[in-house]
Amino acid sequence: MDKIEIIGGNPISGKVKISGSKNSALPILACSLLTSNIMKLINVPGLSDIHSMIKLLDSLNTEISFKTNKVKLKSNRPRRNFASYDLVRKMRASFLVLGPLLSKYGNAKVSLPGGCAIGARPIDMHLEGFEKMGARFLIEDGYVIGEVKKQLKGAKIILPFQSVGATENLLMAACLADGETIISNAAQEPEIIDLGKCLILMGASIEGLGSKRIKIIGKKKLGGCKYRGMPDRIEAGTYALAVLGCSGSLRITNLDEPLIDNFIKIFSPFDNFVIKKVDDNAMIVLSEKIPFKGVRIKTAPFPGFPTDLQAQLSAVMTKASGESIIEETIFENRFMHVAELIRMGAEMNIDGAKVIIQGKDEIHGAQLMATDLRASSSLIIAGLMAEGKTIINRVYHLDRGYENIEKKLSKCNVKIRRIKN
């Protein structure tokens, strides 16, 4: 397996172009099952998770071509509405084919999902929502087997909490349901807005995107469209936090105005950290090489501090002045990076849903093991901040969510390379 080698200690300087959003592209790829017309998607990142979704859609009789961040799809009626364990186990977002298959074809058999081991992330909310729309389910031998009599029906659905995956799955299914569907306590993430915009271009009737109440009026059919997906806000946030940890100046491009405004807001409590808006598509991140103060941060659904940046922030705060307390409110098992950071000399401990960090002047390079996608990027940041050499193993986790991260960073005054095995 490949490794990443980093020689730490350099400030970051230069420019980085952000790739398309993985968390937006995956549900948009899944929504291609709702139409038999051609879909053309632009700004799709070349990541292993994207390739996994493409393999799954191919198994469902979708014609696909993927070249240089552009995907062309034409969904045909599957021979079987079946998503196998081998294809679904690698990535939780594969479960997003359930809603489109149920809505368009009336039945589906989908393996229980896999992906990063960062908490239970139950599928109950997906299934309960579909049941209110008339679906019936059996869970057997690790598969969810769903069936609908004639057609899904519009329903009023109240989610117990703002689940991104459940909101996306139910939103897609409702587009072909009979009647009106209301999703209350819906997730408000930009990726859901992006999915909704694509569905509207396909002919869907959707109101309330970005709010906690989404209204969908089902259509008899949807058409194809050409759609450019949003930039990856988690990739951008990762690079921004790397600048805070290492000091320097970085121009981050291929963004959009709402994301820049959100970064300015969520990073406003941070000491010695300046974000300047250049225009609607770019920002400059600045941090001087002086000690920065620790923070108290709680993760939250959008527009709060993202859980997907919690591990990266934890790495940065290992060199802060004073104590930092970071509370994880979304997933119950998202501190697996802590043990690896302690191997580098970090002083931190887990207290329930919180990690408490006592900042130090230095951390040191070490042999490390990536445990999940965002943990792997936190180790990249820690390696850039550390004295000496860091080797990160199992970087296939990294390749699930970061497109050419070592190549992008190597152009920004840091010493990083991939060692291929």
Q: Known catalytic residues? A: 116
d(CA 310, CA 177): 37
- Please state, in angstroms and rounded to a whole number, the distance separating the CA atoms of residues 221 and 84: 27
Query: Which residue is listed with tokens 């329930």?
Result: 352
Residue ranges of alpha helices (H) inside 270-392 are 310-316, 337-343, 373-385
- Residue 140 DSSP symbol: E
Nearest-10 Cα torsion for 341, 342, 346, 350:
90
Stretch (H or E) spanning 104: helix 98-105
- Distance separating alpha carbons of residues 224 and 311, to the nearest angstrom: 38
Length of the chain: 421
Contact between 252 and 239 under an 8 Å Cβ cutoff? The reply is yes
Selection from 305, 315, 133 nearest residue 125 by Cα: 133
Q: What is the dihedral of CA 127, 131, 134, 139, to 10 degrees?
A: 60
Secondary-structure percent of the chain, ordered helix, strand, coil, rounded to 5: 35, 30, 35
Contact 126, 170 (CB under 8 A): yes
